[in-house]
Amino acid sequence: MFSVVIPLYNKEKYILRAVESVLAQTYKEFELIVVDDGSTDNSLISIKDISDSRIRVIKQANQGVGAARNKGMTESNYKWIALLDADDAWSTNHLSELFNIIKEFPDSGMVSTKILELEDGKEFSTVDEYKSSNIHSVNYFFEASKKISVITSSSVAIKKEIFNKIGGFSNKKMGEDLEYWAKISLSYPVAISDKVTSYYFRGTNGAMDSQETVKKAKEFLILNDISPSINLIVNESKLKPSILKQKNIRRYINSRLHSGIKHSLYRGDIVSAKKISKLALPQADKMYIFALAISIAPKVTLEKSIKSYKGIK
């Protein structure tokens, strides 16, 4: 039923935890494909003594996490592909919960459970294993406008048929995952469960730990510059203009801009904040109103507001 794909690059401290969490699944019908993307540490040595016929290790020269995921997805044999990052882990019921979602919404192109963020080194548990779950179909763009981690690369499963049709991840250094979720969601239904079955560990030198919060102001010239996912949406809208007329997609774009504006203001970069705010798409929601207010507010007013906010904090 599931092909589990783990992209691996220099995660010798964590890969055994990830692999063991897969092998401990209560749902047993799966294969595990570990794609070593040119690791230079002892990552593979960490798992070399595991004897399980369901495990395959594929080695390739370093090409990036997107290429590593794509290789594993290409080599997968099952109908659904479940992703897991090498420094994250699953509860024992993760695959069974994904299976429950698929049973209820079989036409979905992408399904996901809920992920919980933990500090590295903290023991993860299965305290929610017997908690009843709320499984439902969602509009990805609406959900992602509320919480960016509604779908993650350690909680998601993608139908192999969809991968065969639309291709895989781009090999961008940042945002290739959000770009891919958006790409799928533009054309296929998405369903999720609110049960926590996957765990993201902070402080492992993963992408989320190292990414730059916002770009320099000069880079924000047009909407496409904000992120790979927004660039994808804008480019797709050139072929299908109705995309940018959809309320939830406009909300999604404004939510990304809203985050960028806030980060810029907190850093005292008013120039960036104003440039980003001017890209917001008109719509009757709080995020657009906030962006509009920032775009017309005098610089001195924003400086005073930032100073007061930091003083209170």
**Do 237 and 131 have their domain in common?**
no
Of 209, 227, 261, which marks where a domain is finished?
Answer: 209
Of 159, 187, 209, which marks where a domain is finished?
Answer: 209
**Do 26 and 169 have their domain in common?**
yes
**Do 179 and 260 have their domain in common?**
no
**Do 136 and 38 have their domain in common?**
yes
How large is the average pLDDT for residues 292-299? 94
**Do 228 and 121 have their domain in common?**
no
The CA distance from 51 to 59, in Å, is: 18
**Do 160 and 242 have their domain in common?**
no
Q: Residue 92 maps to which CATH number?
A: 3.90.550.10
**Do 143 and 265 have their domain in common?**
no
Of 209, 230, 245, which marks where a domain is finished?
Answer: 209
User: Domain residues for 263?
Assistant: 212-312
Question: Per-residue confidence at 80, pLDDT binned at 50, 70, 90?
Answer: very high
**Do 189 and 226 have their domain in common?**
no
**Do 137 and 255 have their domain in common?**
no
**Do 148 and 269 have their domain in common?**
no
Task: Say whether pLDDT at 193 is over 60.
Answer: yes
**Do 30 and 90 have their domain in common?**
yes
Task: Say whether pLDDT at 100 is over 60.
Answer: yes
pLDDT of 118 reads 87
**Do 184 and 117 have their domain in common?**
yes
> What average pLDDT does the chain have?
90
Question: Per-residue confidence at 211, pLDDT binned at 50, 70, 90?
Answer: very low
Q: How many structural domains comprise the chain?
A: 2
